[in-house]
Chain A
Amino acid sequence: MSAVKVSNLSILYHQIPALWDINFEVPEGTMVAIIGPNGAGKSTLLKSILNLIKVKNGEIEIMGTPHHKLRDKHKYIAYMPQRSSIDFDFPTNVIDVVMMGRYGHLGWFKRPGKNERELAMNALKKFGMAEYSHRQIGELSGGQKQRVFLARAYIQQADIYFLDEPFGGVDSKTEQVTLDLLKELKDNNKTIIVVTHELDTLKAYFDYIMLINTQKIAFGTPSEVLTAENMQAAYGGLMHMPHR
């Protein structure tokens, strides 16, 4: 069974397509990168899979179930949003944000307790953030913020992990922590879908790469996808190709 199956997906914003006729399948337990230039529709693709954007054209299945009919979503899906989409002035601290990863498991009315606090604290330790547990979330550097959201996704213990731009503008420690987490998730047979525009150092980790620019340019193993023609098709003249 595929973890995620996208068929004939098109998304329009005010009659202008952000995605056009996208088809692909992500087998369970694989790690997939979605790459493409800015504005290519990568976040839009992730959000439509997660049912955060209404899908009018096309079908999306998660674990064989249409995504809008999926029950107990928190068991299947963990999502790390793009950092720029978060309101860092919100009155809350690091440990509270991490504990939110368990809110789905708690169900209505139940408040997070000792168990959730412990899970959150362990996750923070794992990502080197234990000493910041009571900081206001706005008072962290970009990389530290990122690690808080990694911890939040981590304690959810879902089957499929969606990460939007986890390598955008972070320090090398955060990059390392993120990579370690991806490896650990993969060893535990989780499915991982990562949006990124930085692939040079990472291509060895991914089983498949989805290259898009509104339309699907290519989907396949890294060596199949990362050809000069494909990159030219996706990035046009925008990207400087490696000159070693």
Chain B
Amino acid sequence: MEWSILQQYGPLLLSGFATTILCWALGTIFSMILGLLIALVQRYAPRPVGWVIQAYIEIIRGTPFLVQLFVLYYGGPLIGLRLDALPAGLLGLTIYGSPYFAEIFRSAFNAVPLGQIEAARAIGMSEPSIIRRILLPLGLVSALPALVNFSIILTKETVILSIITVPELTYQTQRMSTETFRYIEANLALALFFWALVETISRVGRRLEKRVTRHLTERT
């Protein structure tokens, strides 16, 4: 193995890693927000709207991200949606992740005891207040482990952005391997970077979980 090659390509890999983190972070945030909105609309909207949303969820979950991204990036211009690689990648991640997040939020909201919501209704609280003060705080807490878990899964989906030429880490390591034929070093570096990212996310997630549940668990 030739580790000096990593020194040479270090800056390139680092910039790729930065792009990966950026794509992951923004993609996660956007798809989480979209998923949250979907879950809220599903909860409160009339039936037909719910069916439309359910269809969206099924379609997105039923197709590979790779295909979605192709359609968006290469098919988009046909309907006038011309995006650069990075924005297209972010939009793709947002769409791809949203139904999973929506399902996480939906089941978390369903897990909030109805009685606690009725208690709020009984004192005359409005539905927006109930959402903000009761449903969201309790729902988010119970959703947290699943949210962290799916955002970890999303780190790996960012890899696919390389096929539409987003200069993220995979893209750069591929470039390094084709230029130098150092496949092993390149892929080891790739694995190491991802491991560091995933490990960080799960650590932060565990701490967060501990923090937000500290008042909710019965001391026995």
- A in complex with B: no
Interface set of B (CB-CB < 8 Å, partner A): none
**A interface residues (Cβ-Cβ under 8 A, vs B):** none
